[in-house]
Amino acid sequence: MTTRALTMLNTAGDVTIIWEADSDDAMEAIIAEKMKAGCSFFIIEPRFGGLAAPARKPLKDAADARKHRALAIPDEDLSAFVGAGAGALTTTPNVPAKTVRRAKTAKEAAQTETVGVQARRGG
C-alpha cells in the first residue's frame, strides 16, 4: 500500500493529513483548488513507512466531543476533509522531507506523500 500524506506548510504551522486510497478523489479536488490559487506541491520520499490512519473510537457520551475539541486545522478545506472522515490528522514526522520532484498534477499529488507550500506573496 502506498501511504498518502500531505504536509501543508502555512502561516499557522505545519499540518499533516493522511488518508486511504478511497479518498484520493476528494483530496485531488482540494489539491487542484490550491494549485489554482498558486500553491505548489512537492512529491517527497516516503517518511511514514506504511503508517495507517489512526483507529477511531466511537463516542460513548456526546459531552466527550465538546470536552476534547482543542484541535483546529487552520485550513478550511483540509479541516472539512478530516471532519468528513476522509482522512486523519497526524503528527508531522521529525524526518526531514527529501524532495523527489514538483507534482505536475493534483492527481499525482493526491496519490503520494507531498509537501504543499503557499504561493509567494510580496509585502
pLDDT in tens, 19-72: 999 999 999 999 999 999 999 999 999 887 654 445 555 556 655 555 555 456
Average pLDDT, the chain: 82
Q: Look at residue 67 in the predicted model and tell me its pLDDT.
A: 56
DSSP 8-state secondary structure symbol assigned to residue 58: -
Residue 5 has pLDDT above 70, yes or no: yes
Q: Look at residue 86 in the predicted model and tell me its pLDDT.
A: 92
pLDDT band at 102 (very low <50, low <70, confident <90, very high): very high
Q: Look at residue 60 in the predicted model and tell me its pLDDT.
A: 60
Angle at 14 between CA 11 and CA 17, to 5 degrees: 130
Residue 123 has pLDDT above 90, yes or no: no
Q: Look at residue 52 in the predicted model and tell me its pLDDT.
A: 47
The beta strands (E) that lie in the chain are given as: 4-9, 15-19, 40-44, 87-90, 99-102, 113-117
